[in-house]
Chain A
Amino acid sequence: GQQLNQSPQSMFIQEGEDVSMNCTSSSIFNTWLWYKQDPGEGPVLLIALYKAGELTSNGRLTAQFGITRKDSFLNISASIPSDVGIYFCAGQRRDDKIIFGKGTRLHILP
């Protein structure tokens, strides 16, 4: 089936550093979504992107919908301890089904 390749799988950074992660696919998606999941919780939507080329910010988070509609990236600037968690990208197909990436685990070193 369709797959989203999300990278990196995990990141270890210092507090205050910027973070970048991305998702790629061989298929086209109509919508790209970025979620964050804290331990023991369900995912929470961070940013939704609806048009190719769209660049959207939510506080320190910025995400872009790739021009080819096959990729998206998420940047986090000036990371803080509460940014720790798992970040998932998801693409929504024309039939409205949503495919999730395997997640990027963000760790912040003390």
Chain B
Amino acid sequence: NAGVTQTPKFRILKIGQSMTLQCAQDMNHNYMYWYRQDPGMGLKLIYYSVGAGITDKGEVPNGYNVSRSTTEDFPLRLELAAPSQTSVYFCASSFPRGGGPPDTQYFGPGTRLTVL
């Protein structure tokens, strides 16, 4: 298994540009998450999904959108990039309750985004 993969690894955007951060997992996990990590800080949840077709807001959803059309993919969309969105973005997935340790989140390697 490749686990959780994220692309791109690095990206520089201009203010107002849009982009999609890709996340895929091949572990058949129902739960998927997007976090952002600012320098010197912990992770903050942006959006999460408990299964295909279902998404919900996390702690800091403003300026982002997600979709979950398949179990494997959970892309994160930035429509109008702002400097405040400069961060490292991590995607994660986990087993559903009853399917294994419910809280074991597997993280991708991250996408470093800079908005200038």
- For A65, what are the chain B residues with a Cβ–Cβ distance below 8 Å? none
- For A88, what are the chain B residues with a Cβ–Cβ distance below 8 Å? 42-43
Choice from A92, A96, A100 contacting B42 with Cβ under 8 Å: A100
- For A4, what are the chain B residues with a Cβ–Cβ distance below 8 Å? 42
What is the 8 Å Cβ interface bit string for chain A, positions 91-110, against chain B (1 contact, 0 not)?
01000111111110000000
Any B CB within 8 A of the CB of A43: yes
- In the complex, the answer to whether A42 meets B110 with C-beta atoms within 8 Å is yes
Most chain-B CB neighbours within 10 Å: which of A45, A101, A103?
A45
Any B CB within 8 A of the CB of A74: no
A10 to B79, CA, bound (A): 36
**Which A residue sits closest to B42, measured CB to CB?**
A100
Any A CB within 8 A of the CB of B105: yes
- For B43, what are the chain A residues with a Cβ–Cβ distance below 8 Å? 43, 88, 90, 100
What is the 8 Å Cβ interface bit string for chain B, positions 34-68, against chain A (1 contact, 0 not)?
01000011111100100000000011000000000
- In the complex, the answer to whether B42 meets A98 with C-beta atoms within 8 Å is no
**Which B residue sits closest to A49, measured CB to CB?**
B103
- In the complex, the answer to whether B103 meets A97 with C-beta atoms within 8 Å is no
Chain A 25-61 interface residues, beta-carbon cutoff 8 Å to B: 31, 33, 40-45, 48, 50
**Which B residue sits closest to A103, measured CB to CB?**
B42
Choice from B42, B44, B107 contacting A42 with Cβ under 8 Å: B107
What is the 8 Å Cβ interface bit string for chain B, positions 87-116, against chain A (1 contact, 0 not)?
000101000000001111111111000000
With A31-B103, A33-B103 already in contact, the answer to whether A41 and B110 are too (CB < 8 A) is yes
Query: What is B's interface to A at a CB cutoff of 8 Å?
Result: 4, 35, 40-45, 48, 58-59, 90, 92, 101-110
Subset of 16 A-B contacts with CB under 8 Å = A4-B42, A41-B109, A42-B92, A42-B107, A42-B108, A42-B109, A43-B90, A43-B105, A45-B104, A45-B106, A90-B42, A92-B103, A97-B45, A97-B48, A98-B105, A100-B42
